[in-house]
Amino acid sequence: MRVSPKKHLGQHFLVDENILGVIGRLAELDRDDVVLEIGPGLGPLTAFLADRVARVVAVELDRSLEPQLSERFGAVANVGIVFGDALALDLAAVAPGATKLVANLPYNVATPIVVESLAGLPRIGRWCVMVQREVADRFFAVPSTKAYGAVSVLVQLVTERVGFHPVARTVFRPRPNVDSALVAFRRTRMPDDYAEVKRVVEAAFAHRRKTLANSLELSGVVPRGIAVAALARIGRGAAVRAEELAPDDFVALRRALG
């Protein structure tokens, strides 16, 4: 039975399996790896991974794919298929011991999946994800650029980019109307106060046209005066905007706020 990708789920199925070799190289797959995959679709990447790693746990939202996935992987001992919303599931419990996240991420959940995995999946040491080119660029954008935002800060606070590969639209069905890219990054650190830093970062960018101090006040984090004083302690003026601060500046700001 032919299955049509669902636009409202952001589905674009991989149909050119030549890209799998690139994914394998960027993911640096190892026989001991436990891989979490989000959005397996019809399973071409799942099968590729299963041949190369210890275990694959694939999380799929679309229940209409259950017959195809069950038929293909029901007898494959090192593959587990879990049906549910990856944003609502406890992924650490779903894929205990996962060491890598490798996925052709559905476009409409790519950013929150990556952001939530940074702290929510602390044993993940490497990510290799297919996302919109715009999103891939945003992950490692530099300060004072249009692409730089909260996700840039959070990803760069925890990881460093180790691979990048533009992907042609022809590898998907249906062809997306945007360019895509594979981006690989590895965990380098986790600030002890990451949760508090994350709260400050997201509040700082919540009102992008405002000054950082005003955005923190509007977001209910701290009054503007306290924010201005904290900015002064890290050598920044009251008129600075969130996009002017580097990732480490936000760590310093959080600590200056107390």
Do 39 and 149 sit in the same domain of this protein? Answer: yes
Contact 79, 62 (CB under 8 A): no
Same domain, 127 and 17: yes
Q: Quick one: angle between helices 194-204 and 247-257, nearest 10?
A: 100
Q: Residue 1: inside a domain, yes or no?
A: no
pLDDT below 70 — which residues of the chain?
1-16, 174-176
Q: Which of 76, 4, 78 is nearest to 41 (CA)?
A: 4
- Tell me: cis bond preceding 174? Omega within 30 of 0 counts: yes
**Of 145, 167, 187, the domain-final residue:** 187
Q: 157 with 57, same domain?
A: yes
- For 22, 68, 120, 127, the CA distances from 186, given in Å and listed in that order, are 17, 32, 15, 6
The alpha helices in 63-109, defined as continuous H runs, are 66-73, 91-94
* Same-domain status, 165 and 200: no
Over the stretch 203-248, which tens digit does the pLDDT of each residue have? Answer: 999 999 999 999 999 999 999 999 999 999 999 999 999 999 999 9
Instruction: Give Cβ neighbours of residue 71 (< 8 Å, ≥ 6 apart).
Output: none
Which domain does 245 fall in, by range?
194-257
Q: Token digits for 22?
A: 């690139």
Find the CATH number of the domain harbouring 151. 3.40.50.150
Distance, in Å, from the CA atom of 54 to the CA atom of 41, rounded to the nearest integer, reads 21
Q: How far apart are the first and last CA of the chain?
A: 59
Q: Which of 166, 173, 164 is nearest to 16 (CA)?
A: 173
Q: Is residue 92 one of the residues assigned to a domain?
A: yes
136 and 237 share a domain? no
Domain finish residue from 158, 187, 216: 187
pLDDT digits (tens, 9 = 90+) for 41-59: 999 999 999 999 999 999 9
The overall pTM is greater than 0.75: yes
CA atoms within 13 A on the CB side of 122: 7
